[in-house]
Amino acid sequence: MDYQQKEEYAIILDFLPNGYPFDTRQMQRKLPIAQALGEKSFTLLELAPKKELSLQPNQRVYIGEGKRDDIHHIIGRIPLSKLTETAKGELEFIIKDLVQKTPQQFIEFFNKCGPINTRRHQLELLPGIGKKHMWEILEQRKEKPFESFDDIKKRIKLLPDPEKTVIKRILAELDEKDKYKVFTR
């Protein structure tokens, strides 16, 4: 899984037509800001929309190379702590939506991930997965690769919802609670 590629599209989390409220500059000097989440690497971004444009939460915008219709430029990455309350509220729903739209890359993780070091496996980075679940997943994928989240749920006894587990891991990585990055950039 290559999560290091540049983002092509982002989903708007929040749009601030008058910039940040805590910005102390004069009103005419404040610029509109959009907070967004990159589709591929789940990168939290701050974007400058084109003049006179209004963006909506959950709107998909092109941020790749070349001509952009809605975004003037990418200001940069932002930490989770800098997101507005609206953006934080949208974040989990948008991540869930993205995971549901591209489940194969996450199923691929369950099928191909390996050890981090001699004591820890990448599977153990997922919330709710300890040694017991890890060994069960490794045994099951040896017999036959997993085909879907439902397949994982059926074959691994007592495993919490694997889709929710992936979403929780992405949120934890965005919060930078762990030095390991599995799904984010």
Amino acid at 66: G
Average model confidence (pLDDT) across the chain: 91
pLDDT tens digits, residue range 78-122?
Answer: 999 999 999 999 999 999 999 999 999 999 999 999 999 999 999
**Burial (0-12, 13-18, 19+ Cβ within 10 Å), 169:** buried
Q: Is the pLDDT of residue 1 over 50?
A: no
**Burial (0-12, 13-18, 19+ Cβ within 10 Å), 27:** exposed
Domain boundaries along the sequence of the chain: 9-82, 102-174
CA dihedral 22, 32, 86, 57 (to 10 degrees): 180
How far is 183 from 185, CA to CA, in rounded Å? 7
Find all residues with CB under 8 Å of 149, minimum gap 6, and list them: 103, 106, 107, 161, 162, 163
How far is 159 from 162, CA to CA, in rounded Å? 7
9-82 has which CATH code? 2.40.50.140
pLDDT tens digits, residue range 141-160?
Answer: 999 999 999 999 999 988 87
pLDDT of residue 71: 95
Q: Using a pLDDT cut of 70, give the percent of the chain over it.
A: 94
Q: In the CATH scheme, what architecture does the domain 102-174 have? A: Orthogonal Bundle (1.10)
Whether 35 and 14 have beta carbons less than 8 Å apart is answered as yes
Tell me, yes or no, if the pTM score tops 0.95. Answer: no
HEC secondary structure over the chain = CCCCCCCCEEEEEEEECCCCCCCCCCHHHCCCEEEEEECCCCCEEEEEECCCCCCCCCCEEECCCCCCCCEEEEEEECCHHHCCHHHHHHHHHHHHHHHHHCHHHHHHHHHHCCECCCCCEHHHHCCCCCHHHHHHHHHHHHHCCCCCHHHHHHHCCCCCCHHHHHHHHHHHHHCCCCCCCCCCC
Give the pLDDT band (50/70/90) at residue 124: very high
